[in-house]
Amino acid sequence: MMNPEVQVTQALKSIARNDHIKSYIQQSNELYPLLVKAAKRFVTGENKQEGIEVAKELIKKDYFISLEYIGENTTNVEECRKDKDEFLNLIEEMGSLSMNQTVSLDLSHIGLSVDSETAHIHLLEVAKRANLYGITLMISMEESSKTNNILDIYKKTTEQCPNVGITIQAHLYRSINDIKELIHYPGKIRVVKGAYQESANIVMPRSKELNNRYLELVEQLIEANHPVSIATHDESLIQEMEHRQYLNHPHVEIEMLYGICPGLLSNLKSKEYNCKVYLTYGIEWYLYLCHRIAEYPENLYGLVMDMINPSIVERNSLY
Ligand code: FDA
């Protein structure tokens, strides 16, 4: 019998992928505003300006930032072009503010759900523009059915634009082999545990085994002197990496999602490690919010409180 927490997590991951529920919420005058309030726990807002404002505050506090215009699975070419243009606008604005930080994106947001060629062309354009301003572009990793395509597009692009990096999911068994190859490309590698529900024969569940695999991947990158982003909120895993002296390596940063474990990141920053906050904005916050709840169902309590009490704590002040 599956434990109730795993059942809730799996149900939430399925809800996240359900287009009927998503459009019902988007069209509901009652539910939509309530959920937007809840989403603000993890998302800076619905527009670019809100993302930039939060980024400025965090940079003032000596954090690095990564900013994403949220969206994925855009299946219409015209929409992909508009979303790619939004990334270009974001980069222009960051450039004009001398914010030479990081922009993150999902390839299925800018073309992969149409075809690989569209994603590659759009990625190259965004990467070249980012390069002009010293901005790093990090590609997120999506469902395992897309892994090969995402890695191929990354490899082609980073050869021309070394400011492009890639995310690797430790929970996928294949990642241990992928990383051996990726180490020969210049881009930064962000190591995450993995957020997508996949079949048990290709991924490890959250476990000691997964944490050991995570350590193994990071170790390979450190030994190769490769730029790495340690993207986890797992305190025991972070403590182990601190103990192994991984965190004070100059090519290493610790990256956490906005609104999650801010106290832990602030404590790491006080020890002068490179700490980065991953910020998101955009109207497609629904899937992002579902992922954050699915990863940690206890978040539901906080979200319900946020819906009832409009005076949400300013997330920034927690960093
Ligand atoms: P784990 O899930 O084991 O959690 C460890 C502890 O962290 C929990 O006990 C809890 O205290 C805290 N925690 C974790 N998640 C929380 C939450 N949502 N709310 C509150 N507390 C929480 N995934 C992916 O598949 N593709 C990608 O491209 C990315 N990109 C990405 C970028 C960055 C910067 C981060 C930090 C994460 C991602 N992820 C991702 C998500 C990632 O795969 C993973 O699902 C989450 O980071 C949660 O896993 P942890 O490593 O934190 O460990």
Q: Which atom of ligand 1 lies closest to the CA of 139? A: 28
Cα torsion 261, 54, 274, 67: sign: positive
Predicted local distance difference test score (pLDDT) of residue 311: 55
Shortest-distance Cα residue to atom 4 of ligand 1: 234
Query: 4-318 in CATH: which number?
Result: 3.20.20.220
The confidence score (pLDDT) of residue 19 equals 77
Q: What is the pLDDT of residue 1?
A: 59
> Which 8-state DSSP code applies to residue 205?
P
Give the pLDDT score at 307.
Answer: 75
pTM here is 0.94
How far is residue 109's CA from residue 217's CA, in Å, rounded to a whole number? 27
Measured in Å, residue 194 CA sits from the centre of ligand 1 at 7
| Centroid of ligand 1 to alpha carbon of 57 (angstroms) | 23
**pLDDT at site 2:** 66
pLDDT tens per residue across span 237-276: 999 999 999 999 999 999 999 999 999 999 999 999 999 9
- Mutating to test ligand 1, I would choose from 9, 192, 256 the residue with most ligand atoms within 8 A of its C-beta, which is 192
User: Left if phi > 0, otherwise alpha if psi is -120 to 50, otherwise beta: which for 73?
Assistant: left
Residue with CA closest to ligand 1 atom 1: 234
* pLDDT score, position 167: 98
Å from CA of 160 to ligand 1 middle: 30
Choice from 212, 233, 306 to test ligand 1 binding pocket (greatest atom count within 8 A of CB): 233
Atom 43 in ligand 1: residue holding the nearest Cα: 194
Pocket of ligand 1 from Cβ distances under 6 Å: 140-141, 167, 169, 192-196, 206, 231-234, 255-257, 260-261, 278, 292, 295-296, 299
Burial tier of 287 (Cβ tally within 10 Å: 0-12, 13-18, 19+): middle
pLDDT (0 to 100) of residue 304 = 80
Amino acid 291: pLDDT:
83
Residues of the chain with pLDDT under 70: 1-2, 5, 13, 16, 310-314
Torsional sign, CA 140, 13, 73, 299? negative
